[in-house]
Structure 1
Amino acid sequence: MSNRRGEPADVLLVEDNPGDVRLTQEAFREGRIQTTIHVATDGVEAMKFLEQTGEYADAPRPDIVLLDLNLPRKNGDEVLEEMKADPELDHIPVIVLTSSAAEEDVAKLYDCNANAYLTKPVDPDEFIETVRTLEEFWLSVVRLPQHDA
């Protein structure tokens, strides 16, 4: 299965932990949906990718963004706020995938219009299963808005 354009779905993973990047890539690789995973390791890099500036001038608009909160240079909540304030980016679903289970983080991110908030399981197998469930729901079940490539 692929996205509505008949191409692999583009996923922007904003994550600075190499282990979590590897596990997420593994989960998507083993899933049934064709995806292209793009990785940004900090919030500044994520915004350059999303705004298609600098070395990311030819980057695709992602179908979804998986966003960690605790990032170098620019936190995940700042990335989310900038995305949702930009009419070119505000339609892209943002799924917060973070180690924080703090209620104040959950409330804040939903107030900033996150589409979902998931706490990363510590167990690697549970982490992979969480990502697979996320992939299935957001890229197969949910109907996402059309956007210009």
Structure 2
Amino acid sequence: MIPHAPHILLVEDNPADMRLTLEALKEGNVRCNLHWVKDGVEALDYLYRRNGFEHSVRPDLILLDLNLPRLDGREVLADIKAHLQLRRIPTVILSTSKEEEDILRCYDLHANCYITKDPLNFESFLEVIRAIDRFWLSLVTLPRRAGEQ
């Protein structure tokens, strides 16, 4: 359990899906600080604290979409998991893709889990967000963010 409101980095190019995630977090009473970036390049800039994100907070959890502009989620995941400190951040793939190839590739790249989302069914999506909260933000012991005591 995290002693502070956890910081979640949402990497999602679709503003409607971002708003849906925000609404589901509110509806599910998930206490967190949500940070949103719109593509893979921004995600890495945020995580490496560069190009306008110099004061970003290292997230406790990353929710990563796969089909992103400029740099797709698979490339972002590979970069995160290749970095000594970033690889410790649990990375949840949250995608509409049910393709076995996508699922296997993400696990090969060391995704912590792969969840298929249905943004057209709010109740189903709300249950996904509640499950993420129950497991990743309430049950699991997460590593401290870099620089914290």
Scaled to the shorter chain, the TM-score interval is over 0.9
Could you tell me which of 118, 142, 145 is aligned with 1:144? 142
Structure 1 alignment gaps of length 5 or more: none
Q: Which residue of 1 aligns with 2:63?
A: 66
Shift of 1:26: 1.2
Shift of 1:59: 0.5
Q: CA RMSD in A?
A: 1.2
Shift of 1:95: 0.2
Shift of 1:131: 1.2
Q: Which residue of 2 aligns with 1:10?
A: 7
1:33 touches 1:136 (CA, 8 Å); kept in 2?
no
Q: Percent identity?
A: 44
Counterpart Cα distance in 2 of 1:39 and 1:45: 9
Shift of 1:148: 1.6
Could you tell me which of 72, 87, 104 is aligned with 1:107? 104
Q: Which residue of 2 aligns with 1:126?
A: 124
Counterpart Cα distance in 1 of 2:100 and 2:51: 36
Could you tell me which of 29, 42, 45 is aligned with 2:39? 42
Q: Deviations over 1:80-136 (max 9, x none)?
A: 000011112010000000010000110010000000000112312211221121122
Counterpart Cα distance in 1 of 2:127 and 2:19: 14
2:92 touches 2:115 (CA, 8 Å); kept in 1?
yes
**TM-score of the superposed pair, with normalisation by structure 1:** 0.93
Q: Which amino acid aligns with 2:141?
A: R
2:7 touches 2:34 (CA, 8 Å); kept in 1?
yes
Provide the aligned length of Structure 1 versus Structure 2. Answer: 146
Shift of 1:54: 2.1
Counterpart Cα distance in 1 of 2:104 and 2:28: 30
Could you tell me which of 19, 24, 44 is aligned with 2:21? 24
Shift of 1:32: 3.7
Structure 2 alignment gaps of length 5 or more: none
* Greater relative contact order, per chain length (Cα 8 Å cut-off, separation 6+): 2
Counterpart Cα distance in 1 of 2:121 and 2:28: 18
Counterpart Cα distance in 2 of 1:32 and 1:21: 17
